[in-house]
Structures are given as C-alpha cells and as structure tokens.
Amino acid sequence: MSADGVLPAPPVRVPGDGVLLREVREDDHARVLEAFGDGRTALWNPGPTTLAGVEEWARGRNDWDGTHASWLVADPHTDDVLGAVSLFKIDLDQGDAEVGYWVAPWGRGRGVAASAVRSAAAYGFGALVLRRLHLFHAVENPASCGVARRAGFLLEGTLRESYRYADGRFHDEHLHARLATD
Ligand SMILES: CC(C)(COP(=O)(O)OP(=O)(O)OC[C@H]1O[C@@H](n2cnc3c(N)ncnc32)[C@H](O)[C@@H]1OP(=O)(O)O)[C@@H](O)C(=O)NCCC(=O)NCCS
C-alpha cells in the first residue's frame, strides 16, 4: 500500500470539461443497456446484454473495492448517460493503473471520451497519487487511438496478437501511457 494514495469505497464524483464522472444509478440502467447494444462497443469493450446483467455491472462499478475507480460518464447538463471510464488494476504500491472507456453512439465525435479520460487521469494522478497510467487498444480501433492521443497518452509500442477481443481473434494492440510528470 502506498503511503499516499488511498482509494475511497464509494464512487467520488469528478466534474470534467463537458462531462460529469459519477456513480451509476438505477435510472441509468436502460440507457446503459442500449449503449452496450452498439456493435463497436460489443466488439472492443463488451458488456452486459440484459437488464439483470447491467444491474450486476452497475454494482461492480459502484463498489470501489481497492482495485478500481470506475465512473459513469454523464452529460453535465441533461444528466444523460454518455459512456463509462475506469481506472482498473490499480496498484498503489507500483503507483500505476490501466484505463478503459467507451462512449455511447449518441455521445461520440465531440470529445467526450478524451475529456472523460483526462478527468479520470487527473483523479488518478491527484487523489490516488499514481505515477503512470497505461491503456491498450486494438490497432484496428483508430477511434480509441485518437482518444489516447488526445488525452495525452503517448504511444509506447505495438504488442503482437496480445489480446483476444469479442470476435474471437487475437489482435495486435497499441500500448499508450501517460506519466504524472508528462
Ligand atoms: C473509442 C470511443 C470511446 C471514442 O469516443 P469519442 O467520444 O467519440 O472520442 P472523442 O470525440 O473524445 O475523440 C478523441 C479523438 O479521437 C478521434 N476519433 C474519434 N473517433 C474516431 C474515429 N472513428 N476514427 C478516427 N479518429 C477518431 C477524434 O477525432 C479525436 O481526435 P481529435 O481531437 O484530434 O480530432 C468510442 O468510439 C467507443 O466507445 N468505441 C467503442 C468502444 C471502444 O472502442 N472502447 C475503447 C476500447 S480500447
């Protein structure tokens, strides 16, 4: 355990630029299910396909059990579901974590993912005193590469056939990372 970073149990709300990172509420569930029905999300970041599955997913996301800090990404004006972002595999001893995200089709193409990742990273480097955040995406997913670049995560290399995605194939992936000192 780091002497500095402490992960609180209940989700902490984080305001961002055009986004609000918050807990998942019950009245979000139908919208979350709709978002997970999107083909790209189903391929690159699959999630539950039933309302019961969303309930379980939401319970996990809202339970910061010491390994992750996860948020629903909401529109700060309408409070509608825009997506989700997570710092996971948090290692307070090493001071690092991985970042994951998706944005619903109706929220795409206007900087939501990049803003959400920047806000989550600010929380990780600030409250959790992490020093390095990394993320992986399939080489065939240029949208995710754009998010990484836009959120200040430098490309560190290409991993060969490193992860099996939902199409059942192992894909080459880009490894991107951002340091607290960047
Ligand atoms: C990847 C994803 C999160 C992008 O969300 P978004 O909110 O539309 O992304 P942003 O608007 O923040 O875009 C960030 C950058 O990526 C670029 N980008 C976004 N979508 C793109 C696309 N389809 N092709 C190429 N570049 C794209 C943007 O142009 C922007 O760069 P810029 O500011 O230099 O113009 C969204 O498409 C998604 O949820 N996809 C399915 C799930 C997924 O891939 N999750 C990540 C798994 S690693």
Q: Say which range, 3-7, 32-36, 67-71, has the weakest mean pLDDT.
A: 3-7
**pLDDT, tens digit, 9 for 90 and up, residues 81-112:** 999 999 999 999 999 999 999 999 999 999 99
**Per-chain mean pLDDT for the chain:** 95
DSSP line for 115-148: HHHHHHHHHHHHTT--SEEEEEEETT-HHHHHHH
Domain residue ranges of the chain, discontinuous segments joined by +? 14-179
Report residue 2's pLDDT band, with 50, 70 and 90 as the boundaries.
very low
- pTM score of the predicted model: 0.96
Per residue in 107-161, pLDDT (tens digit) is: 999 999 999 999 999 999 999 999 999 999 999 999 999 999 999 999 999 999 9
CATH class of 14-179: alpha beta
pLDDT at 75 over 70: yes
Place of tokens 């979350």: 32
**Quick one: pLDDT band at residue 11, thresholds 50, 70, 90?**
confident
Whether 64 and 11 have beta carbons less than 8 Å apart is answered as: yes
Q: How far is the CA of 1 from the centre of ligand 1 (A)?
A: 34
* pLDDT (0 to 100) of residue 3: 42
Q: Which amino acid residue places its CA nearest to atom 15 of ligand 1? A: 146
Nearest CA to ligand 1 atom 24: 143
Ligand 1 center from residue 142 Cα (angstroms): 7
Report the residue among 38, 72, 103 best suited for mutation to probe ligand 1: largest number of ligand atoms under 8 A from its CB. 103
pLDDT surpasses 80 at 59: yes
Instruction: Give the chain's radius of gyration (CA, Å).
Output: 15
Ligand 1 centroid vs 52 CA: distance in angstroms? 28
Q: Give 158 Cα–ligand 1 centroid separation in angstroms.
A: 19
- Taking CA atoms only, the protein residue closest to ligand 1 atom 23 is 143
**What is the 82 CA–ligand 1 centroid distance (Å)?**
13
